[in-house]
């Protein structure tokens, strides 16, 4: 159980393009999902907390107008990288947490974004 699906797994596009990444919890409902960015050989950096039915909470230094997050249902959150540039190239990972005390986060397989 607790499967999180992330799509697409890899995106290659031109500079200036907006890219949407989907994160779905397949067998549980998640009022909260998280979006991370991971640089090569480094740990995960939390970008924002996605809250179902309300605005996302962004970590310090993350541009909310650049990284648009929508959490329209209890099983789907989307991250849109707007007007992407080469410096936005990275590995983006989402996670979701089933409700309840001390429940762990379960991660998607990540999206490799490459901006040319």
List contacts with other proteins (CB under 8 A).
4, 6, 32, 34, 41-44, 46, 49, 91, 93, 95, 97, 102, 104-110, 112
Q: How far is the CB of 87 from other proteins (least distance, A)?
A: 20
Q: Which of 95, 94, 110 is nearest to 9 (CA)?
A: 110
Give CA–CA dist 38/66, Å, rounded. Answer: 17
Residue reference for tokens 């979701």 = 96
Question: Would you say 16 or 26 has its CB closer to other proteins?
Answer: 26
Q: How far is the CB of 31 from other proteins (least distance, A)?
A: 9
Q: Contact, 8 vs 16, CB < 8 A?
A: no
Give CA–CA dist 43/49, Å, rounded. Answer: 17
SS3 68: strand
Give CA–CA dist 28/30, Å, rounded. Answer: 7
Question: Would you say 84 or 96 has its CB closer to other proteins?
Answer: 96
Q: How far is the CB of 109 from other proteins (least distance, A)?
A: 5
Question: Would you say 45 or 68 has its CB closer to other proteins?
Answer: 45
Q: How far is the CB of 100 from other proteins (least distance, A)?
A: 10
Question: Would you say 80 or 105 has its CB closer to other proteins?
Answer: 105
């Amino acid at each position: 159980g607790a499967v999180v699906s992330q799509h697409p797994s890899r995106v290659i596009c031109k500079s200036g393009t907006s890219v949407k990444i989907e994160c779905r919890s397949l067998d549980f409902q998640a009022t909260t999902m998280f979006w991370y960015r991971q640089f090569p050989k480094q740990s995960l950096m939390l970008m924002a907390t996605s809250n179902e039915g309300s605005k996302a909470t962004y970590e310090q230094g993350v541009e909310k107008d650049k990284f648009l997050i929508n959490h329209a249902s209890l099983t789907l959150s989307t991250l849109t990288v707007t007007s992407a540039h080469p410096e936005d190239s990275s590995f983006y990972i989402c996670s979701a947490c089933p409700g309840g005390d001390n429940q762990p986060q379960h991660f998607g397989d990540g999206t490799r974004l490459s901006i040319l």
